Amino acid sequence: MTNRIKPFLTILFCTMCFRSMSENLRFNVLFDNPATESTYKPAQFQFERKDRLKESSLLPAALLTASFLYNDYYLDQAIIKQGSIESPSLGSADYIQYSPAAIMLAIKAAGVEGRSDWKRMLTADAISTAIMAAVVNATKYTVLRERPDGSSRNSFPSGHTATSFMCAQMLHREYGETVSPWISVCGYGIAATTAVFRVAANRHWCSDILAGAAIGIFSTELGYWLTDRIYGDNRLRKPVIAPDTDELPEWKFGLFSDYSIASDVFTSQGYGNPNAKPACSIGVDATWMLWYIGATVRANVTQMKWTGPHDIILPDKGSVADIYTIGAGLDLAFPVIDRLNLNGQAIAGYSPASNNYSFLNPDNSPVEWQIQAGMHYYANLGLEFKTTDYSSVSVHGGLDYYDKVWRSFVMGARFNFTF
């Protein structure tokens, strides 16, 4: 149990260490433009830093750390695939991964002024795209991880997720930080949905999409940092809106992943299979913090693993078990020290799909996984650390209880956009 907890403590420790080092970079400067200085009030705007790369690397560093520590690619090593896996949602992410960039270009074309003019924005975007593509493809064909559906050996990291989070970060830099954080919410929501769709389509493991998100965000930050070196203060149009960092965030939007460290599967009522257990979950949530307690909604997909004494066979066009859950409940955030909160959630949800999953034993006898629809209860408690003015990382432990199906103790991490 101790060894399984260590990865999540490592995520929080590394994040806090990076944050401590980044405090040395907190100097703010105004664009070298007297006209701009007279237009905006310092009390309302936090002006662009000359160097913010280290601080803005905290969130992708935490995502990448979580990806390395979520050793989840073994989940179906005991499942022999005879062909492709049926995935009705496979094509969805192909269409929405570029949406944040399309939104950014549409807003710009409509004449809404953002951080940069057209030339500077397109330069930053082109550099970011080149960095992301180079890192993703070099990693894919070096690691050679097999995809969950067995279709190829280029699963790590998720290119769709990297693209979508890169585009969302572009939208955030250009308009979320300068016009309205709700624009960022739209972009990150699309990116997180893309990531979840890739897991649901059996094209990626949870760790693949965490790494993809890390690469996408960091590629944009590095691209904008290099563009700042090229242009200096030229072609900047609007400064950054400074959020009130002295108060708790009013809104939180998170991408989270939970890893099962111990679970019981209930079979006395005829549900499930004693050798089929929950392994890990990936999902999104949104929270409105009215005070130290707020209302939250979430949606997630849980991947299952086979723990039987021998391999089982998945027929061609079959499907591995993924459990979908939607829920709502309460979110707790109680300040402990500067930038560190005690964080917890209590969620009541429902898994609406009742499915039978068919496999074969080596002797061709059938193996059935019967996953019933039912109530799903979830609670966790952990620590949340604010990484930047707009983001936080939390690690937690909790209980995932699926009525009449399983009880699972989990460790996990959340990566939040906050304002």
pLDDT at 46 > cutoff 70: no
Q: Which pLDDT score, from 0 to 100, does residue 188 have?
A: 94
Tell me the backbone φ, ψ of residue 92, rounded to 5 degrees: -60, -45
Instruction: Compute the residue count for the chain.
Output: 419
Per-residue pLDDT tens digits for 351-410: 987 778 888 888 888 888 888 889 999 999 999 998 888 889 999 999 999 998 899 999
CA distances (Å), origin 133, targets 130, 140, 292, 331, 360: 5, 10, 41, 37, 40
Most confident of 210-219, 278-287, 303-312: 210-219
Write the pLDDT tens digit of every residue in 258-294. 999 888 887 655 556 778 888 889 999 999 988 899 9
d(CA 131, CA 220): 8
Q: Show the tokens assigned to 263.
A: 């679970």
**Whether pTM exceeds 0.75:** yes
Spatial contact of 13 and 66, defined as CB atoms under 8 Å apart:
no
Question: How many Å is the Cα radius of gyration of the chain?
Answer: 22
Task: Give the pLDDT of residue 271.
Answer: 59
User: Which range among 164-168, 244-248, 265-269, 302-306 has the greatest average pLDDT?
Assistant: 164-168
pLDDT of residue 12: 53
Rounded to whole angstroms, the Cα distance separating 253 from 99 reads 18
Q: What long-range pairs does 261-264 form, CB within 8 A, spacing at least 24?
A: 261/1, 261/4, 261/5, 261/409, 261/410, 261/411, 262/1, 262/408, 262/409, 263/406, 263/407, 263/408, 263/409, 264/406, 264/407, 264/408
User: Looking at the predicted structure, is the pLDDT value of residue 19 above 80?
Assistant: no
Q: What is the CATH number of domain 252-418?
A: 2.40.160.20
| Segment 51-89, tens digit of pLDDT | 578 888 888 988 898 888 877 767 777 888 877 776 655
User: DSSP per residue over 345-357, as a string?
Assistant: EEEEEEE---EEE
Domain residue spans in the chain?
2-241, 252-418
How far, in whole angstroms, is CA 107 from its chain's centroid? 25
Instruction: Please determine, for residue 149, whether its predicted confidence score (pLDDT) is greater than 70.
Output: yes
pLDDT band at 315 (very low <50, low <70, confident <90, very high): confident
What is the pLDDT averaged over residues 181-196? 93
d(CA 219, CA 161) in angstroms, rounded, equals 13
